[in-house]
Structure 1
Amino acid sequence: MQNAIVQRSPRRLSSLYRTKRRIVRGLQIFALLLVLVYTLFPYYWAFVSSTKQGAALYRSALLPALDFTYYRQLIDNPIFMGSLVNSAYVAVSTTFLSLVIGVSAAYALGRIDFPQRRAMLMIVLMISIFPQVVVLSGLFELINWMGLFNRPSALILTYLLSTVPFTTWILTTFIREFPRELEEAAIIDGCSHFRILTRILLPLMGPSLASTGILAFILAWNEFLFALTFTLTDENRTVPVAIGLIAGTSRFEYPFGQIMAASVTVTLPLIAVVLVFQRRIVAGLTAGAVKG
């Protein structure tokens, strides 16, 4: 009798273990579905709202009407399409300059030993957490003094104040992970620091540059306060400001459908960029996570 109980207990334990695994896996899938619904529902609701007009917004709110009138109006609107071009130009330029400056500064902070290196890292971190309102008045005077007011170059210059510090901080952590033997061998062969950075380290930093560049691009693409302050005419405004200034046909009409259509249109380039570089983004975010 005891032998039978002993023989059955492993089977029972195995059955209980499989049941427990199924319950845990089911809970994980349920939690994943909740996260997906929570993150994707606002975008779906914006798309549904952008396909309805008038009182249809308040009927069957979760079902799209497939009326793309607002999207056709946006395409036919030269001001909005011009703002898309302005945002693309400013965001791409800001991302490129922030990566160039950030890589150079990150190499100096991550590889070159000097007494003030730790203090410089702390200063970079402090600058990256400054609220925009704190520096707004000073930047306004600076941009006005430089004669860049109401120009895309003013936005690029002000956006660098936000993108360069966090780009430098993130890239410094990546550069520190590279083995110093690479540099030592290059120095023996007579390479300068600039040649080491551009010919040896930079080709290895593709994933980290992609992930950092995406973050800088999104920050520059979505920025509103500086774009509203330093641009006055419709020809020089970026997309966030253009969406904020969309008005209805009368003073009593709130153009909810137009704003939702513009929001969906503006989000599509970001989704496309992330999908194209998703592998490099994941590789860059996980680089250095496991040391062997």
Structure 2
Amino acid sequence: MGTKNRKSQLLWGVGSLLIIAYALVPVLWILSLSFKAGDDINNTQFLPTPLTIDGWDPASLSLDNYATVLSSDLFLTALRNSVGISLIATSISVVAATLAAYAVARLEFPGKRVLLGVALMITVFPIIAIATPLFDLWRVIGLYDTWPGLIIPYLSFSIPLSVYVLSAFFREIPWEMEQAAQVDGATSWQAFRRVIVPLAAPGVFTAAILTFFMIWNDFIFGITLTSSEAARPVPAALAFFSGASSFEQPTASIAAASVLVTIPVIILVLAFQQKIVAGLTNGAVKG
């Protein structure tokens, strides 16, 4: 048994390393590309040149790409749009989904399972299927190339996802705790706000993070429903990035911009990783 356990652990370890390498190598390559300058982007070395006799020279790292990106009005405006749209859509989605998921978890009504099934179906519905109809509709009613024109489609997909995640989490909270609060004199709203919501905080954080990531990384709506810098988010704006000049390949600059827009995602994951894991695992314990 001891030999089998060691072999099993070894296989799991090797498999984990392969998965980690598969996930990290493209990220590390983009990070390396973001520090290369000029014609150096055409070489196949992982680290920027030059190589000295003693090894790689850290002085060969160039921050010019990051300086170019941070001084670009196109990138800064797109970053402002992404932050504003993502925060507004996430806030509305989480508040609406929290109320809806609580009703789904606590009330019994006909079609309850069908409602959750439809919510799950919406989350996997291909975005490209409605991008073109929305393009035509938004141009007619005046929402094209505006923040609301992006926020509304994002809510259409993020609220069902949040409802599905939060309803499973609310079902784990004992009904007796809310009844005890009401016995002590709390109203239904006070019991929900002061007892249920704090207990459901891991699930709420999970829904908020998943929603924020989905909106932050969206490209299809961003490129289809905008035509100028007025509302164009970062993923779509990178397609129009031209670098320091029109005669320079923007590859390294786009890599630097990609690294910069990934930093907020990494910070959020590291800051709330315990709540995210708790929310995902807790909601999956019972159906």
**For this structure pair, what is the TM-score category when the shorter chain's length is used for normalisation?**
0.7 to 0.9
- Kindly report the root-mean-square deviation, in angstroms, between the aligned alpha carbons of the 2 structures: 2.2
Q: 2:259 maps to which residue? A: 264
Matching residue's letter, 1:100: V
Q: 1:21 Cα shift?
A: 3.7
Q: 1:58 maps to which residue? A: 42
Question: How do residues 28-43 of structure 1 correspond to structure 2 at under 5 angstroms?
Answer: 28-43=12-27
Q: 1:287 Cα shift?
A: 1.2
Corresponding residue SS for 1:184: helix
TM-aligned CA distance change 1:147 to 1:59, over 3 Å: closer
Q: 1:90 maps to which residue? A: 85
- In structure 2, what is the Cα distance between the partners aligned to 1:32 and 1:136? 38
* Match for residue 121 of structure 1 among 100, 116, 121: 116
Report the count of equivalent residues. Answer: 274
Q: 1:48 Cα shift?
A: 0.8
Matching residue's letter, 1:231: T
Question: How do residues 15-164 of structure 1 correspond to structure 2 at under 5 angstroms?
Answer: 17-64=1-48, 65-164=60-159
Most deviating of 18-27 and 58-67: 18-27
Q: Is the 8 A contact 1:102 1:164 kept in 2?
A: yes
Structure 1: gaps of 5 or more residues: 1-16
- In structure 1, what is the Cα distance between the partners aligned to 2:4 and 2:125? 48
- In structure 2, what is the Cα distance between the partners aligned to 1:192 and 1:122? 32
Q: 1:289 Cα shift?
A: 4.9
- In structure 1, what is the Cα distance between the partners aligned to 2:44 and 2:123? 44
* Match for residue 197 of structure 1 among 186, 192, 199: 192
Most deviating of 33-42 and 190-199: 190-199
Q: 1:236 Cα shift?
A: 2.4
- In structure 2, what is the Cα distance between the partners aligned to 1:67 and 1:107? 52
Corresponding residue SS for 2:125: coil
Deviations 1:146-175 (A, max 9, x none): 433221122111111111111111111111
* TM-score normalised to structure 1 length: 0.85
State, as a whole percentage, how many aligned pairs show the same letter. Answer: 38
- Give yes or no for the alignment of 1:286 onto 2:281: yes
Q: Is the 8 A contact 1:48 1:61 kept in 2?
A: no
* TM-score normalised to structure 2 length: 0.87
Structure 2: gaps of 5 or more residues: 49-59
- In structure 2, what is the Cα distance between the partners aligned to 1:18 and 1:123? 48
- In structure 1, what is the Cα distance between the partners aligned to 2:13 and 2:130? 45
Rg larger for: 1
Structure number having the greater helix percentage: 1
Q: 1:101 Cα shift?
A: 0.9
Q: Is the 8 A contact 1:95 1:217 kept in 2?
A: yes
Q: 1:277 Cα shift?
A: 0.7
Matching residue's letter, 1:29: G
TM-aligned CA distance change 1:233 to 1:209, over 3 Å: same
Q: Is the 8 A contact 1:107 1:175 kept in 2?
A: yes
Matching residue's letter, 1:55: D
Question: How do residues 173-192 of structure 1 correspond to structure 2 at under 5 angstroms?
Answer: 173-188=168-183, 192=187
Matching residue's letter, 1:37: A
Matching residue's letter, 1:268: I
